[in-house]
Amino acid sequence: MCQLRRRAEYLPQLAGDRGDGMKKIYLAALSLLLLSAACVSPARAQQKSRAPLWGDLSAGPYAVGFRTIYQFDRTRTWRVTRGYEKPFSPDSNGRPIRISIWYPAVLGARSRQMRFADYVRPAGPKEFAELNTIVEMREKEASSYRDRWSDVLRTPVNAYADAAPAGGRFPLALYAGGLDSTGTTTVFVLAEYLASHGYVVATVPLLGPTNEDTEQGRTAADRERVVQDLEFAWSVLRGQTNVDEAKVGVFGKSIGGVEAVILAMRNENVSAVVGLDATYGFKGNEKILADMPDYAPHKMRASFLDIRRDWDDPASVLNLSAEHAFHYCDRSFVTVRNMNHFDFDSDAMIAFEFRLPIGPTEAVNPGRTRETADRGYQNVCRMVLDFFDGKLKGDHIGAERLRADVARADGGAIKHEDALTPPPSGVEFADLIVRHGFEAAAALVDRYRREVPGEPVVDEAVFNAVGYRLIGEGRFPEAIGIMRLVIYAYPDSANAQDGLADAYIAAGQKEPARAALRQALELIAANSSLNAANKEWMSKVEQEKLDRLRP
C-alpha cells in the first residue's frame, strides 16, 4: 500500500491523540504531499491495490490502465441497407469496432480503480450505444454467474480507468475469445496480469455480419470476420505511442484459437501465438481450421504454444497432427489435468471467488473442482506470460520459467519441437541458382522433400509467377533458372515447360525454347486428366509458339 494511503488511515488516531491543532498541521502537510505526488512510480503503483479475482497471481512492476477505443471500419457495412419493402439506405458509418485495451500505467492522485461493472458497461459515443447494449445483454444472458450478477458487478478489478500510460513502448498481445465472446470480461484477469508485466493487451467483442444478425455464427465466414476485426484493431493500435509494433503476439481460447492461428499465418509481423484449449485440437474439428482462408501450415513462422486440458484417453479426443506440422516455427504443447474447457478464461476466477456451484452445462473432467480450476487458470496466466516474455521480449529464461510453471501445474506436461529452417522463396531460389548453380538448388529441393515429406517446397503457381516477374524485369538467367526448377519439381507439367519456353524466348534462346515447347506438346497428349477440348486448345497454343520459332 502506498505511503499516502497509510498516512490517511492513521489520521483519525493521530487527531484524537493530539488535538485539533495537530490535526490542522497534519492536514496541511498531507495536502502538500498529495500535490507533489501527482504521479506514482511504476514500481510502487502496482502495490496500490489488489483485486480479489487475481488469486495468488503476482503483479508486475506496472499499474494497469484500461481504456476503450471506438472506431468504425468503413470498408465494411454493419447496418442493413436494403430492408424488406424499404428503399436503399446506405450505411454511412460502417462496421462498429470496440477495442478494449489494458496497458502499463502510472497512477495519479485521482486515478480511479475500476469495478467489474466498468467492463460490462463501458461509456462510449452515442453512435456505439446500440453495440454496447448488444454486448451487455449478451454478457448477462450468457454468464455463468447470473445469480450473483449484482455482486460480481460491484467487485473491484485490478485496472484503473484511463490512467496515464507508462513511458516507453510495449509488446502488443491481441486476444480472440470463444464463440460469441464479449471479449473484455472473459480475458480481463489475464489481460490485467500481462499489462502489469509490461504488455498492451487488446480484444474486441465477436459480432455477426449486421445489426440484425449480431451473433457470431459457426461458419468459416464468421471466423474470417473475427480475424478482420482483430486486424482492424491492430491497425488502430499501431498508431498508439505506447505500442511496439515490431513485437506482436496473439492468443485465443476455444474457437478464438483458430482465429489466432489464421491471423498469425497471414501476418508475418506476428511473432508468437497461443491457443487455449483451442477448437482446432479436437477430433472432428480439423476442417474448422483447414477451411479458413489463408490456411497454410508452411507459412506459419510465429512461435506456437498450445495449452489444453489433459484427458484420460487423449488419442480418442484430440488430433493435433496439423499443429505438429507447423514445421517452420518452434512448437510447444502443454497439458494440464483437473481443468475443464470453461476454466481457460476469467470465469474460473469468478466462479471460485463466489463459490458458484458447478452447473449442468459444465462437462466435468475427472478431478476438476472450483479449486483446481482457479489454480489451473492462474497457472495458464503464468505460462502465457512466460511464453510471451521469451518470444516477444527476448527473455532468455522465459522458456525455463515456462517449463517450471508447467511442472507446478496439476499433472502438467510439456512437449517441445524445434523449428526447421524454412526453404528459400522463389526469389531466393532464383538468386541461389545464379550464385551456386542449378544443381545446388535441386539438391536443396531433394533435401527438403526427404526431411519434410509433403511440404510444397516448390509451389508451381507461385514459382511460375516469380519466373514471369523476372522475365518482365529482364533478369533472364534467374527466370530460366526458376522455370527449370519448377520443371524439376513438376516433371509432368506442360504448363511448367511452357513457362520455361517463354523464358528462353525472352532471352533470345530459340533452340532450347523449341525443345521446351515440343516437350509441352508431348505432355499434353499424354495427360489423361485433360478432356479432348482442353487438349486441342492447349496443343494449338503451344504449336503456334513453335511455328513462330521456325528458322
Residues 387 and 458 in one domain: no
| C-alpha to C-alpha distance for 528 and 530, rounded to whole angstroms | 5
Same domain, residue pair 113 and 131? yes
The C-alpha cell that represents 497 in the structure block: 515447360
Indicate whether 396 and 438 sit together in one domain: no
Residues 218 and 242 in one domain: yes
82 and 186 housed in the same domain:
yes
Average pLDDT value over all residues in the chain = 89
Is residue 385 located within the same domain as residue 447? no
Question: Are 503 and 461 within one domain?
Answer: yes
Same domain assignment for residues 338 and 408: yes
Pair type for strands 270-276 and 63-73? unpaired
- Considering the domain architecture, whether residues 219 and 115 belong to the same structural domain is answered as yes
pLDDT in tens, 301-343: 999 999 999 998 888 999 999 999 999 999 999 999 999 999 9
pLDDT over 90 at 454, yes or no: no
Q: Is 11 left (phi over 0), alpha (psi -120 to 50) or beta?
A: alpha
Domain extent, residue 446, equals: 426-548
pLDDT, one tens digit per residue, over 499-540 is 999 999 999 999 999 999 999 999 999 988 888 998 899 999
Paired with 428 in beta bridges are none
- Check whether 46 has a pLDDT greater than 70: no
Helix (H) or strand (E) segment spanning residue 414: strand 413-417
Pairing of strands 331-336, 303-309: parallel
Mean pLDDT of 253-273: 96
pLDDT in tens, 222-239: 999 999 999 999 999 999
* Residue 444: strand, helix, or coil: helix
User: Confidence class of residue 144 from pLDDT cuts 50, 70 and 90?
Assistant: confident
Residues 450 and 375 in one domain: no
**What's the whole-number mean pLDDT along residues 139-158?**
89
**Domain identity same for 438 and 405:** no
| 3-state SS, residue 382 | helix
Q: Cα 88 vs. chain centroid, distance in angstroms?
A: 37
Q: Mark which of 417, 438, 468 sits at the end of a domain.
A: 417
Distance, CA of 155 to CA of 182 (rounded, Å) = 18
Give mean pLDDT, residues 146-158. Answer: 93
Q: Give CA torsion, residues 119, 122, 127, 130, to 10 deg.
A: 50
- Confidence (pLDDT) at 27: 38
In a domain, residue 35? The reply is: no
| Residue percentage of the chain with pLDDT more than 90 | 77
Asked which of 375, 390, 417 is the last residue of a domain, the reply is 417
Where a domain ends, among 417, 446, 465?
417
| Whether residue 358 is found in the same domain as residue 448 | no
pLDDT surpassing 80 at residue 403: yes
Please report which confidence band the pLDDT of residue 50 belongs to, taking 50, 70 and 90 as the band edges.
Answer: low
Report yes or no on 5 lying in a domain.
Answer: no
Domain membership flag for residue 11: no
Across the range 412-437, mean pLDDT stands at 95
What total number of domains does the chain contain?
A: 2
Residue 20 has pLDDT above 70, yes or no: no
CATH number at residue 488: 1.25.40.10
pLDDT band at 457 (very low <50, low <70, confident <90, very high): very high
Whether 4 shows a pLDDT value over 70: the answer reads no
- What percent of the chain clears pLDDT 70, i.e. is strictly above it? 91
CATH number for the domain harbouring residue 188: 3.40.50.1820
